[in-house]
Amino acid sequence: MNWEERVIGIESLRAYLPNKSEPDFRSMVEGLLEQQLETWPMLRDAVAGLSRVEYKRLSARGSEVLAQFNPQRIVSTGAKVDAATIKQRPCFLCADNLPAEERGVAYGNDFVALYNPFPVLPQHLVITSRRHIPQTIAGNFGTLLDLALDLGAGYFVLYNGAACGASAPDHLHFQACERKRLPMLREIESWDRRALSNDSGIEAFTLTHYRLNALIACGNDRGALIGWFDRVEKLLAEITGAESEPMINLVVTRDANRWTVIIFPRGKHRPDRYFAEGDVKLTVSPAAIDLAGVLVVPQPDHFAKITSRDVEEIYAEVTLDDARFGRVVEALFDEHSQD
């Protein structure tokens, strides 16, 4: 089955849409959910399973983290993403390999929005490229901004780098979810911050003494945000010695008059305890949602034993260390000072 057969148009979704002659993208994906719940049992069961997900409230350096017991996420958390495994398995984001009942709505000419059959949060979308091309943000950051704008204030969109939690590093895709449970989005507004710049319509800053190192920018100028991101990506590549794309996760939101972009620079893919044996093992593989404060723990015994101290150590281990992050911050601050 090709993408033309997978994509549902307005008329086919009409019965699931509000009374709009020309529905916007957000209305289309919300109508798609109703259609898919009616016709795709696997998704219906997965969405029902979200009501049984358990949470444990933890604190990491004073910030809130919600550990989430979500056993259906073991498919992603336990995914093998080494080159040999990727080469041998069929790509599960290509049209031919999707479940028979799965359908999507077009996003422009190049992408299709689908519902994730292993959701972490409500309204969990995967926005996949129609082409089987590698997961890379180069040339695609603008699409992430556009998705946040078109989905609106109730959502966040994300990008997981190829070695930073993406279970399909061989196929370009983004994700989106309902945003109200994500702790970091609330904490950004009240946490102490260090300003990096406030010009060209962009306010860039870091959060001081936060549970992890992140770069944040807010603004309404799409071109200026793309330019800022390109500079940060290049700087991260230089400081971390990345030959191509530096290890990063991204979260983007859009409110009434501005975008907020969160960059999580990475130090490694998975923490050592992911590979450990015995009592110290924790099956936790942080990606963008986890770094923003909903930490998925798919194993029941691991969920029962995980502590705030464990969470602090995991975040510190997988995100960029203070020394290299400090170099990034100083370079951005110096760049602003010279403008």
Residue 187 lies in a domain: yes
Distance CA 83, CA 330 (A): 36
Domain that residue 170 falls in: 3-47+54-271+316-338
Residue 288 lies in a domain: no
Distance CA 231, CA 97 (A): 37
CATH number at residue 74: 3.30.428
Domain tally, the chain: 1
Is residue 328 within 8 A of residue 263, CB to CB? The reply is: no
Phi/psi of residue 114, nearest 5 degrees: -125, 160
For the beta sheet containing 248-254, the strands, ordered from the edge strand earlier in sequence to the opposite edge, are 105-107, 111-115, 125-129, 173-178, 155-160, 248-254, 259-265, 215-219, 202-207, 193-199
pLDDT for 163 equals 86
Residue 195 lies in a domain: yes
The candidate with the shortest Cα–Cα distance to 244, out of 137, 95, 84, is 137
pLDDT for 167 equals 81
pLDDT for 165 equals 82
Question: Using one digit for the tens of pLDDT, what is the confidence trace for 171-217?
Answer: 999 999 999 999 999 999 999 999 997 777 799 999 999 999 999 99
Is residue 73 within 8 A of residue 121, CB to CB? The reply is: no
Residue 91 lies in a domain: yes
Q: How many residues does the chain have?
A: 339
Distance CA 22, CA 19 (A): 9
Residue 242 lies in a domain: yes
pLDDT for 75 equals 60
b/e map 144-168, b = 16+ CB within 10 Å: bbbbbebbeeebbbbbbbbbbbbbb
Is residue 222 within 8 A of residue 229, CB to CB? The reply is: no
Is residue 247 within 8 A of residue 237, CB to CB? The reply is: no
Sequential pLDDT tens for the chain (339 residues): 899 999 999 999 999 997 777 899 999 999 999 999 999 999 999 999 998 999 999 999 999 999 999 988 766 555 555 566 656 778 999 999 999 999 999 999 999 999 999 999 999 999 999 999 999 999 999 999 999 999 999 999 999 999 898 888 899 999 999 999 999 999 999 999 999 977 777 999 999 999 999 999 999 999 999 999 999 999 999 999 998 899 999 999 999 899 999 999 999 999 999 999 999 999 999 999 999 999 999 999 999 999 999 999 999 999 999 999 999 999 987 665 555
Tokens read off for 30: 């919300």
Residue 67 lies in a domain: yes
Residue 300 lies in a domain: no
The candidate with the shortest Cα–Cα distance to 18, out of 3, 9, 28, is 28
Distance CA 331, CA 232 (A): 10
309 Cβ partners below 8 Å, 6+ apart?
none
Residue 309 lies in a domain: no
